[in-house]
Amino acid sequence: MLPNLKIDPKELPERVIVCGDPKRAVRIASLLEEHALVAENREYHSYKGKWNGTEVAVVSHGVGSPGAAVCFEELAKGGVKTIIRVGTAGSYQKEIEPGSLVISSAAVRQDGLTSQLVPPGFPALANRHVVDALAAAAENHNTGLTVAEGITLTLDVFYSGVVEFPHKLYQKAGVLAVEMENSALFVISALRGMRAGSILAIDGYADADLLETYDPHTESTQKAIEAEARIALDAVVAVK
Ligand code: R1X
């Protein structure tokens, strides 16, 4: 039994969608044929079903890299081979407006967790086949939403304190968006021989004062989340 996910590895398909929010997991799972709850423990809620005839699980990982890492490690231990994260993120670039989608090709490791797993220069890379599958699925869906692909940044801080994070530097370097779990997913996948990717719905601007402005419940963000879920499901079953 996987202790935190509370799943018998025999229940786990090799292809998994992960997302932070347990409620989003049930929403995504409800799109699957023959969907059923597999387990619920802490923030880790797991469902499975079929997408175009292929078995897929949907598992929530909660907010932040350390908790999410527990989920990713146990998925690896359970024999999972392909993971796509369906997440949300704040944009770094004006033209990537709320309601857009971002496919992450790599993550800047500004989290605390991965430096306790691997040395500083170790890259956090998405798997190129997964990135390609996400890009192809996004094109097929023809949602009319802006879809960007490139480097994202993983940060532990959501609401800032008194230390100023150098957002401008990363914006200038062309980083597209900021979220809190991709680097954990990409590093752990590299260490454990899994293929991982991530698609993100933009729910605001990362350098804004989030305590004043953050609202992920708008219609445009919800529409982007619905679109990214379907794109990720197509990609997770398509990836060779
Ligand atoms: O990755 C970030 C985190 O899981 C994006 O949104 C969540 C915080 O609201």
Give yes or no for residue 88 CB within 6 A of ligand 1.
yes
How many angstroms separate the CA atoms of 118 and 114, rounded? 6
Give yes or no for residue 20 CB within 6 A of ligand 1.
yes
Give yes or no for residue 22 CB within 6 A of ligand 1.
no
Q: Does 22 score more than 90 pLDDT?
A: yes
Write down the mean pLDDT value for the chain: 97
Which residues have a catalytic role annotated?
203
Q: Model confidence over 166-223: pLDDT tens digits?
A: 999 999 999 999 999 999 999 999 999 999 999 999 999 999 999 999 999 999 999 9
Q: Is the pTM of this model over 0.95?
A: yes
Q: Model confidence over 75-103: pLDDT tens digits?
A: 999 999 999 999 999 999 999 999 999 99
How many angstroms separate the CA atoms of 58 and 86, rounded? 10
Give yes or no for residue 43 CB within 6 A of ligand 1.
no
Tokens of 119: 């040395």
Per-residue pLDDT band for 240 (boundaries 50, 70, 90) equals confident
Instruction: Report CA(203)–ligand 1 centroid distance (Å).
Output: 10
Mean pLDDT over 149-168 rounds to: 97
CA atoms within 13 A on the CB side of 149: 14
Nearest CA to ligand 1 atom 6: 88
Domains of the chain, each with CATH number or no CATH: 9-238 (3.40.50.1580)
Instruction: Report CA(235)–ligand 1 centroid distance (Å).
Output: 22
Mean pLDDT over 114-127 rounds to: 98
